Amino acid sequence: MNITQGVPRVKEIIDGVRTITTPIITAKLVNDWDEISARIVKGRIEVTKLGEISKYIQEVFTPKGCYLKVKLDLDAINSL
Protein backbone atom coordinates (compact mmCIF):
# COMPACT_ATOMS: atom_id res chain seq x y z
CA MET A 1 0.00 0.00 0.00
CA ASN A 2 1.37 3.38 -1.01
CA ILE A 3 0.31 6.05 1.46
CA THR A 4 1.27 8.91 -0.88
CA GLN A 5 -1.68 8.11 -3.16
CA GLY A 6 -4.12 9.46 -0.57
CA VAL A 7 -2.20 12.64 0.25
CA PRO A 8 -3.24 14.59 -2.89
CA ARG A 9 -6.91 13.76 -2.23
CA VAL A 10 -6.67 14.86 1.39
CA LYS A 11 -5.05 18.11 0.21
CA GLU A 12 -7.94 18.63 -2.25
CA ILE A 13 -10.47 18.13 0.56
CA ILE A 14 -8.67 20.52 2.93
CA ASP A 15 -8.21 23.17 0.22
CA GLY A 16 -11.84 22.82 -0.91
CA VAL A 17 -10.93 22.22 -4.56
CA ARG A 18 -14.00 22.47 -6.82
CA THR A 19 -12.76 19.98 -9.42
CA ILE A 20 -10.95 16.96 -8.10
CA THR A 21 -8.06 15.57 -10.12
CA THR A 22 -8.92 11.92 -9.57
CA PRO A 23 -12.37 10.35 -9.88
CA ILE A 24 -14.02 9.17 -6.70
CA ILE A 25 -15.70 6.21 -8.36
CA THR A 26 -15.66 4.50 -11.73
CA ALA A 27 -18.44 2.05 -12.45
CA LYS A 28 -19.44 0.02 -15.48
CA LEU A 29 -23.15 -0.41 -15.98
CA VAL A 30 -24.48 -3.92 -16.44
CA ASN A 31 -27.17 -2.52 -18.74
CA ASP A 32 -25.05 -0.05 -20.75
CA TRP A 33 -27.36 0.10 -23.77
CA ASP A 34 -30.37 1.61 -21.96
CA GLU A 35 -30.08 5.39 -21.56
CA ILE A 36 -32.99 5.63 -19.13
CA SER A 37 -31.38 3.12 -16.76
CA ALA A 38 -28.08 4.98 -16.99
CA ARG A 39 -29.77 8.27 -16.11
CA ILE A 40 -31.48 6.66 -13.11
CA VAL A 41 -28.15 5.36 -11.81
CA LYS A 42 -26.49 8.73 -12.43
CA GLY A 43 -29.27 10.53 -10.58
CA ARG A 44 -28.92 8.25 -7.57
CA ILE A 45 -25.17 8.72 -7.14
CA GLU A 46 -24.56 12.25 -8.41
CA VAL A 47 -24.66 15.31 -6.20
CA THR A 48 -26.91 18.02 -7.60
CA LYS A 49 -26.92 21.47 -6.05
CA LEU A 50 -30.09 23.54 -5.92
CA GLY A 51 -28.43 26.35 -7.89
CA GLU A 52 -27.79 23.95 -10.78
CA ILE A 53 -31.49 23.19 -11.26
CA SER A 54 -32.97 26.61 -10.43
CA LYS A 55 -33.88 29.48 -12.70
CA TYR A 56 -33.50 31.78 -9.70
CA ILE A 57 -33.28 31.79 -5.92
CA GLN A 58 -34.66 34.91 -4.30
CA GLU A 59 -34.56 36.04 -0.69
CA VAL A 60 -37.95 37.34 0.44
CA PHE A 61 -38.33 39.43 3.58
CA THR A 62 -41.74 40.12 5.13
CA PRO A 63 -42.84 41.55 8.46
CA LYS A 64 -43.67 37.99 9.59
CA GLY A 65 -40.29 36.52 8.62
CA CYS A 66 -38.12 35.62 5.67
CA TYR A 67 -37.89 32.76 3.19
CA LEU A 68 -36.29 31.69 -0.05
CA LYS A 69 -38.33 31.67 -3.24
CA VAL A 70 -37.01 29.11 -5.71
CA LYS A 71 -38.04 28.76 -9.35
CA LEU A 72 -37.01 25.33 -10.59
CA ASP A 73 -35.68 24.86 -14.11
CA LEU A 74 -37.54 21.79 -15.36
CA ASP A 75 -35.38 21.58 -18.49
CA ALA A 76 -32.23 21.37 -16.35
CA ILE A 77 -33.86 18.74 -14.12
CA ASN A 78 -34.90 16.65 -17.12
CA SER A 79 -31.43 16.85 -18.62
CA LEU A 80 -29.97 15.39 -15.42
Do the beta carbons of residue 54 and residue 73 sit within 8 Å? yes
State the pLDDT at residue 66.
94
Task: Read off the pTM.
Answer: 0.47
The per-residue pLDDT for range 34-69, each reduced to its tens digit, is: 888 888 888 777 778 888 899 999 999 999 999 999
